[in-house]
Amino acid sequence: MAKWCFGIDLGGTTVKCALFQTDGTVEEKWEIVTRTENNGEAILPDIAATILAKIEEKKIDKAEVAGVGIGVPGPVEETGEIPCAVNLHWGRKNIEKELGDLTGLAVKAGNDANVAALGEMWKGGGQGAKNLILVTLGTGVGGGIIVNEKIVTGAHGAGGEIGHAFVNPAETKACNCGNKGCLEQYASATGIARLAKEALESETEDSVLRTVKNISAKSVFDAYKEGDVLAGKIVDKFAAYLGNALAVFACVSDPDVFVIGGGVSKAGQVLIDAVEKYYKAHAFTASKETPIKLATLGNDAGIYGAAKLILSKDN
C-alpha cells in the first residue's frame, strides 16, 4: 500500500517539487533550478536526483512510493511523449519512460495547465467537483478541462486551450498564436492593459488611470474597487468577453464549477461578480447556476495536480 508520492511542476526557470502523503498532505516542498542549456539534457537527471535524495533523506521505503506525477509546459500525448517543449529547449521526448528509468518509479506526465486544473479539483477551489473548467488569467489565458475527474487532453493536445477561443470577429491585431480575436487578447493581464489603453484614448472622462504610468490589470482592478467609472467600463468589457466565453464552454462540457486562477484573479470577488453577470445572462438554462469560484492553491496547483495525476491511475 503506497504511502507517498511526488508532485513535480516543471517550469522554464524552476522545478517545484513536493513530497506528498497519498491523502494529499504535503510532507515537504522545495525547488530546484531548471537547467535549460544543452537542449535541457540535465533537467530530467536533476529531477531524478532530487527525488532519490529526498527518499534517502526521509528514509522512505521505495516500495511505499506510488510514483511521480509531473506537469510540463507543453502538450503531452497519451503515450507519455511530448512532441516539444519550447521553454525547456526540448524536442520530442518520452518523459514518462526517461524519468521512470532514472528513478525506478512509475511516472505520469501531463500538460501543466491541465495538471493545475486537476490540482484545483482535488484540493483547491473546485474541491468535490468531478467536472471542472479551470481558467488561468496570467500573461496569457490558459485552461484545463476535467470531465469525470479526468483531464481532457484532446486529439492534438489542445484540449483546454481556451485562451485561443475566437471571440471577436472585428479584431484587427494578431494574437501571439497568429489568429485574430482570441479570448487571450482581452482577458489576460496583457489584454486588460490593452483594453485600458484603448479606453483612455477613446473616452474623454477623467480617471485615476490617467495618472498611472504603466497601466496593468492590477491598476485597472484597483481603480475599479475605488469606484473609478472608466475602470468600471474596462472591467465590464473584460467581463463580457470572459463571461460570454464561459457560457459557450458550458454548452460543450457543462462543468460542476468554473475555477478562475492566475495573477489577474488576485483582484478577487469583484472579478468573479463582473464575469458572473455576463455568464448568467448567456448560459443555457441548465447551466445558469454553475458557480464561478476563485482558485485557492496559487502556485501550488501544479504540484497538487501532479500528485493527483499519479494517484489516479486513469489520468
Give contact residues for its own copies (rule: CB under 8 A): 75, 129-131, 133, 143, 145, 147-148, 150, 152-167, 169, 177-179, 181, 240, 244-245, 247-256, 281-287, 290
Residue 54 or 233: the one with the smaller Cβ distance to its own copies is 233
Residue 244: CB minimum distance to its own copies, A = 6
Q: How far is the CB of 289 from its own copies (least distance, A)?
A: 8
Spatial contact of 176 and 248, defined as CB atoms under 8 Å apart: no
Cα torsion at 281, 154, 72, 1 (round to 10°)? 100
Of residues 227, 114, 124, the one with CA closest to residue 160: 114
Pick the closer one to its own copies by CB: 65 or 240. Answer: 240
Of 89 and 282, CB closest to its own copies: 282
In the complex, the smallest distance separating the C-beta of residue 161 from its own copies, rounded to whole angstroms, is 5
The conformational region for residue 74 under phi > 0 = left, psi -120 to 50 = alpha, else beta, is left
Please give the Cα distance from 38 to 29 (Å, whole number). Answer: 27
H/E stretch holding 137 reads strand 132-137
Give least dist CB 292 to its own copies, A: 13
Which is nearer to its own copies, 220 or 245 (by Cβ)? 245
Cα 193 to its chain centre, rounded Å, is: 20
| Dihedral angle, C-alpha 263, 265, 267, 272, nearest 10 ° | 170
Residues 6+ apart with CB under 8 A from 169: 181
Which three cell numbers mark 233?
A: 467600463
Task: Say which residue the cell 465590464 belongs to.
Answer: 236
Q: How far is the CB of 250 from its own copies (least distance, A)?
A: 7
Minimum CB separation of residue 149 from its own copies in Å reads 12
Minimum CB separation of residue 28 from its own copies in Å reads: 34
- Could you tell me the smallest distance in angstroms from the CB atom of residue 284 to its own copies? 4
Which residue number, 192 or 240, has a Cβ lying nearer to its own copies? 240
Q: In this structure, which amino acid lies at residue 23?
A: D
Instruction: Kindly tell me which of 229 and 252 has the beta carbon lying closer to its own copies.
Output: 252
290 burial level (CB within 10 Å; 0-12, 13-18, 19+): buried
**Residues 19, 58: contact at Cβ < 8 Å?**
yes
Of 270 and 286, which has the nearer Cβ to its own copies?
Answer: 286
Closer CB to its own copies, residue 156 or residue 197? Answer: 156
- How far is residue 15 CA from its own chain's centroid? 16
Question: What single-letter DSSP state applies at residue 283?
Answer: S
Give the sheet arrangement for strand 65-72, strand by strand: 26-33, 14-21, 4-10, 65-72, 107-111
Residue 192 exposure: Cα atoms within 13 Å on the Cβ side: 34
In this complex, which beta carbon is closest to its own copies, that of residue 257 or of residue 303?
Answer: 257
Q: Least distance from C-beta 178 to its own copies, angstroms?
A: 7
